Amino acid sequence: MGELMLFVRTLGLLIRGKEVGLYVKQLVDECSSIYIFEHRNSDKIPPKPDLSCTDIDYKGVVYGTQLAIHFMRKNKAPGGKIVATASVAAIVPHESYPEYDGAKAAVVNFVRATARILKDKENITINAICPGQSKKLLVQRETISKLTILGIVQTSIIPQEMVDAVSPECLTPISNVVSAYERFLDDDSLYGRVLECSAEKQFFLEPPALANGYVSRRAVTVWDPLFQACHKENSGLSDAIP
């Protein structure tokens, strides 16, 4: 899939000639507490929360996707593939990391919201993976030989002691996460899909159903005049309301 992949703090570009594939890899060094328990007995306005996690985990995906669209339009055959990294905490929250949970859930919804438009209008597929807790938090060159990774990607949001406390059968090998990326790269029919990586297995996660059928669904059906006002052209979706 190319001669060079370069990872930076918020995203990596996989490049071969004019073909560009985008991997969004969020690296979070610190997390901010929304609870500010230490302010229980204080009359002072609490400090502004540190939203670096949201900046990296969600805004990085949005910015990176827009950048990918721009360059993928310039491919000899316009189009490409985007794979965003979400988390199982996007589906069921980890109560230690509320902001992280929200940011990752936003990634999942963003992928589902953009997938049909990007596929139909730009020949771009966008999907997301939701890894479980990994055995290793290092992605090394030999692990992804097919993709020719240069360097090492490391994240420290999960302390090693926490990883060590998890029973082995509940840990997800990084090779399974890598194979999820490859699965989306290799299958042109997949778009708007969310793939959970759990231990040695992979599972597609479907969007939740709304409770009141078509009545509920109407609230999230595209109305083309609004879409056009936002994006300067119609959606092209077959189920859009004209």
- Give 158-201 pLDDT, tens digit per residue: 566 776 777 888 888 888 999 999 999 999 999 999 999 999 99
Model pLDDT, residue 158: 59
- Which tens digit of pLDDT belongs to each residue from 43-52? 999 888 889 8
Paired tokens of 106: 């936003």
Q: Where are the domains of the chain?
A: 12-208, 210-241
- Bridge partners, 203 (sequence order): 196
Angle at CA of residue 160, ends 155 and 164, nearest 5°? 140
Task: Kindly state the DSSP code that residue 90 receives in the 8-state scheme.
Answer: G
β-bridge mates for residue 13, sequence order: 6, 22
What superfamily would CATH give domain 12-208?
Answer: NAD(P)-binding Rossmann-like Domain (3.40.50.720)
The pTM for the full model equals: 0.80
Mean pLDDT of 216-233: 95
User: pLDDT for 8-23, tens place per residue?
Assistant: 333 433 333 334 444 4
Residue 38 pLDDT > 70, yes or no?
yes
Q: Would you please indicate which residues are annotated as catalytic (active-site) residues? A: 100, 104
Give the residue from 131, 121, 107 showing the smallest Cα distance to 54. Answer: 107
